């Protein structure tokens, strides 16, 4: 009964910004190797740090969500976040502007998307964002956290989560 939803596509701004960062990082590394002929380890350290940051951003990027009998699973490359259906308070569409400024506490902002833990200045609270773009955003509110996802089919995702919550309530009433 599980249904998969793909992550939203990265916007043009995110794609250009990410491409520019990659080009600048490669050019900086090449310049360090070219102009650093006396064998200093600076160029090697630079390339190791830049490659590590790029890989961290790539491996943390969201891949989509799955709505199944166990709840909602937010999938990233190396990890998944699980949300039990009974802990979901609401699911709704949101605009990026409703977050105010999203300040990264621990995460990536702008390179290949937005993911990690952020502080929303408009809401004055922490939110977990798993978004490739600023469009098609869905907010899942639970007792402990708020999750923001960008999905390619946000309305279908909301309907699937509402149906799962309804089935869990109906099943819970039958077992009592």
Q: What is the DSSP string of 51-85?
A: HHHHHHHHHH-EEEEEEETTEEEEEESS-EEEE-G
Q: Per-residue pLDDT averaged across 2-30, rounded?
A: 71
Look at residues 101, 87, 157 and name the one whose alpha carbon lies nearest to residue 129: 101
Cα(137)–Cα(67) distance, integer angstroms: 16
CB 135 within 8 A of CB 150: yes
- Report how far apart the first and last C-alpha atoms of the chain are (Å, whole number): 24
What's the mean pLDDT when you consider all of the chain?
Answer: 80
Q: Per-residue pLDDT averaged across 140-163, rounded?
A: 90
pTM reported for the whole predicted model: 0.74
Tally of CA atoms within 13 A in the half-sphere of 51 that contains its CB: 7
pLDDT single digits (tens) 118-136: 988 888 999 998 888 888 8
Look at residues 8, 4, 21 and name the one whose alpha carbon lies nearest to residue 151: 8
pLDDT of res. 105: 87
pLDDT of res. 55: 75
Q: What percent of the chain has pLDDT over 90?
A: 16
- Neighbour count for residue 100 (Cβ, 10 Å): 13
Q: Which helix (H) or strand (E) holds 152?
A: none
Which residue range forms the structural domain that includes residue 56? 1-176
Q: What are phi and psi of 124, to 5 degrees?
A: 55, 50
The sign one gets for the Cα dihedral 94, 156, 132, 139 is: positive
pLDDT of res. 108: 75
CB 91 within 8 A of CB 5: no
- How many domains does the chain contain in total? 1
pLDDT of res. 92: 92
């Amino acid at each position: 009964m599980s249904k998969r939803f793909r992550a939203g596509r990265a916007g043009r701004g995110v794609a250009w910004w990410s491409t520019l960062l990659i080009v600048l990082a490669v050019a900086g590394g090449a310049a360090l190797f070219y102009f650093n002929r006396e064998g200093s380890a600076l160029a090697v350290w630079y390339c190791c740090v830049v490659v590590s940051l790029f890989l961290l951003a790539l491996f943390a990027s969201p891949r989509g969500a799955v709505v199944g009998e166990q709840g909602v699973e937010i999938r990233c490359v190396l990890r998944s976040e699980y949300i039990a259906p009974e802990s979901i308070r609401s699911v709704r569409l949101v605009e990026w502007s409703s977050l105010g400024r999203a300040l990264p506490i621990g995460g990536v902002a702008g390179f290949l998307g937005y993911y990690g833990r952020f502080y929303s200045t408009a809401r004055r609270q922490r939110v977990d964002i798993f978004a490739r773009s600023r469009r098609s955003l869905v907010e899942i509110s639970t007792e402990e956290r708020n999750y923001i996802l960008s999905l390619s089919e946000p309305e279908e995702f909301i309907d699937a989560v509402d149906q799962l919550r309804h089935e869990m309530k109906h099943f819970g009433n039958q077992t009592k």
